[in-house]
Structure 1
Amino acid sequence: MPTLLHIDSSAFTDGSVSREVSAAFRAAWQAQHPDGTVIHRDLAARPVPHLDADGISASAVPADGRSPAQAAAFALREELMSELEQADAVVIGTPMYNFTIPSSLKAWLDQVILVGRTAGESPSAAGKPVTVVAARGGSYAPGAPREPYEFVTTYLEKVLTGMLSLEVDFIVPEFTLAPVVPAMAGFVQQAADSKARALEDAERKAKALAA
């Protein structure tokens, strides 16, 4: 039975474009796999704790030698890593906060990246397809004035491919703040067009993966 791992990280539930587009991807995937399983990690509603000393050190200690704190910390890492390993496809919805990803998503990444298992010479989820919906309030596209400040796709492409060896594809809706920021009123149409393309891309990519 196919499994989709669906991760959302926007702090907002209403009006979040990254959530709307990741949900469209999920709906299209489920339409192709009506008997499939969806694991939904809402990192805003249920934040994953940041990786701490117990979670780091536990991986170097045999299970029967771990302290209670180490055992609890590694049990969470085990749960999150297993979800990634068992999924046939992954969709991640992320906004841009202060030029990069939300700390909630970084916390999830730190928990699932473990050299010798999910990272390293033979990553356990290597080749798994991951679609990232990377929404941003303005434009950071090539040639845009703020292109040098784009650390969402640049970071995620490196960490997801370079450490986890996943196959990553991006959907990038832009100008998401235009409808609510008066100074960006001139970009409202670009925002609508960008979101429409993102929704179409999400449905198309989900169907292609299902096929």
Structure 2
Amino acid sequence: MSLFRLDASILPGTSASAEIADIVEARWSAAHPGEPIVRRHLGTDPLPVDAWTQATIAGFTPESDRTPAHQEALALATALADELQAADAVVLAVPLYNYGISQHFKAWVDLVIAGAGPTTPILKDTQTMLATVRGGGYGPGTPREGWDHSTPYLRRVLVDMWQADLTVIERELTLAATTPAMEPLREQAAQLHSQALDAAHDAGRALATK
């Protein structure tokens, strides 16, 4: 058994998504002592910005004509795809940034697709837990309802393309505790925080038993 964990926060020391993922990972580790955990942190160790471009161009270039940059990018894409596909369980911690996914997480997705192929269900039936957090509120009736362009994309890729067995834990209002203008929302934010941590324990137990 093996677990693959990916983090995408640019603030790892205070990451709300990592807090959720830590609980899930701890539950999995307790049930599988000594089993390997492969970690990748895109926030602190981003992928080369031109890798996807080089890998994509390489796919349309005869092997004999590929440059060293093409070959290196293809090798990276293949390694990322293999790393993900080899996992028995997957934990992804992906915050919302600027109403969408961050460029460093998108680069990882694009490279995995380049390495595995666009129609390969690389996570078919793999238990996958996604922790996604949002600084503000995006629910029904809020001023920014519909502004979350990250979570629908993540579901599309993970479920529809990669066919993961997906559990999503969401937490909103993560900035309420430190943003004066959000002070009236702090009690609600605390409740959402507590609910997310409870969900993480439940998801971790479920992931550990699969």
Q: TM-score, normalised by structure 2?
A: 0.91
> Corresponding residue for 1:73?
73
1:134-153 alignment, distance < 5 Å: 134-153=132-151
Secondary structure in 2 matching 1:184: helix
Stretches of structure 2 that go unaligned for 5 or more consecutive residues are: none
Aligned partner of 1:171 in structure 2 is 169
More helix by share: 2
Q: Which amino acid aligns with 1:129?
A: Q
Over 3 Å counting, the alpha-carbon distance change for 1:63 and 1:84 in structure 2 is farther
3-state DSSP class of the match of 1:113?
A: helix
Instruction: Give TM-score, length-normalised by structure 1.
Output: 0.90
Letter matched to residue 56 of structure 2: I
d(CA) in 2 for partners of 1:63 and 1:38? 34
SS at match of 1:30: helix
8 Å CA contact 2:167, 2:203 repeated in 1: no
SS of the aligned residue for 1:111 comes to: helix
Q: What secondary structure, in the 3-state scheme, does the structure 2 residue paired with 1:114 have?
A: helix
Equivalent residue pairs, number: 208
Q: What residue in structure 2 maps to residue 193 of structure 1?
A: 191
Q: Name which of structure 1's ranges 84-93 and 190-199 shifts more when overlaid on structure 2.
A: 190-199
RMSD, aligned α-carbons? 1.9
Whether contact under 8 Å (2:2, 2:89) holds in the other structure is: yes
Please give the per-residue CA displacement for 1:24-48, whole angstroms capped at 9, x wherever unaligned. Answer: 1111111111121111111011001
Aligned-partner Cα distance in 1 for 2:196–2:141: 20
Does the 8 A contact of 2:52 with 2:107 survive in 1? no
Using the TM superposition, give the Cα deviation of residue 178 of structure 1 relative to its aligned residue in structure 2, in angstroms: 0.4
Measure the CA separation in 1 of the matches of 2:122 and 2:135.
35
Note the C-alpha offset of 1:65.
5.7
Give distance in 2, aligned partners of 1:151 and 1:158: 11
**Residue 4 of structure 1: how far off its partner (Å):** 0.9
Using the aligned pairs only, state the percent identity.
Answer: 36
Deviations 1:135-194 (A, max 9, x none): 001111233331211112111111222222222221111110001000101111222221
Q: Which runs of 5+ in 1 are unaligned?
A: none
